[in-house]
Amino acid sequence: MKKAACTSGREEIIMSFLSTDKPKPQILDVRITAQTKVFQIQSVDLQFANGQHRTYERLTPSRRPAVMVMALEGDNLLMVREYAVGSERYELGCVKGLIDAGETPEQAALRELQEEIGLGARRLEPLRMFYVNPSHMFGPMYAFVARDLYPSVLKGDEPEPLEIVRVPLARLDELIDDDQFGDARTLAALMLLQRAIGTAK
């Protein structure tokens, strides 16, 4: 996609959403300011094109991207309910997990499916890749649709078996419309699934 018009120096009527004439800020320094078992925090010194300096913090860009799997069984989406320590409640979501070293996203998706809900899949279609939060981290997540499921259990590291929740595809709108539900990643994936299978509102 190309620029269509520029109405001023600051505005443009376009969709060239990744390209911009602006040179990127120069990264002057990157330091690790904290390190725990799971998280590493970096402090990044930047010089913007106009000469302004800023120091921003970010979680170290993930070397391990993640997968999300929308498992379809007939007219149902198989979701899981798992405890989330961030919100301190059981959250409804899709099968998901980190990609292990040496794994492709497809392999990780099939492994997580077997670990989390004890099912293999004969068909796996990529749905989309998205990011968790480009401002402070950079976690790419690959979403897949899995079909033609069959029983196949792999042992995962979950502290308790995940509750499996069958959501009729015709009722996905109820989830999408409910403010009580709502990890942005799951919400995006549900609406992408609706677009892909043609059940969007």
CB of 174 vs its own copies, minimal distance in Å:
6
Residues 73-92 binding its own copies (CB under 8 A) are: 76, 79, 81, 83-92
Among 11, 150, 151, 155, binds its own copies (CB under 8 A): 11
Interatomic CA distance for residues 64 and 88, integer angstroms? 24
Residues 24-83 binding its own copies (CB under 8 A) are: 24-25, 27, 33-39, 41, 43-44, 46, 48-50, 52-54, 56-59, 61, 76, 79, 81, 83
Q: Cβ atoms within 10 A of the Cβ of 7, count?
A: 8
The string over 107-121, giving b where at least 16 C-beta atoms fall within 10 Å of a residue's C-beta and e elsewhere, is ebbbbbbbbbbbbbb
What is the DSSP secondary-structure string of 136-164? Answer: T---EEEEEEEEEEEE-------SSPPEE
**Closer residue to its own copies, CB minimum distance, 11 or 155:** 11
**Closer residue to its own copies, CB minimum distance, 20 or 148:** 20
| Residue 179 binds its own copies, judged by CB under 8 A | yes
Tokens (6 digits) for 151: 């029983």
Among 120, 156, 169, 176, binds its own copies (CB under 8 A): 176
State which H helix or E strand residue 91 sits in: strand 89-93
Interatomic CA distance for residues 59 and 192, integer angstroms? 27
CB of 191 vs its own copies, minimal distance in Å:
4
Interatomic CA distance for residues 68 and 114, integer angstroms? 13
| Residue 130 binds its own copies, judged by CB under 8 A | yes
Q: Count of residues binding its own copies (CB under 8 A)?
A: 89
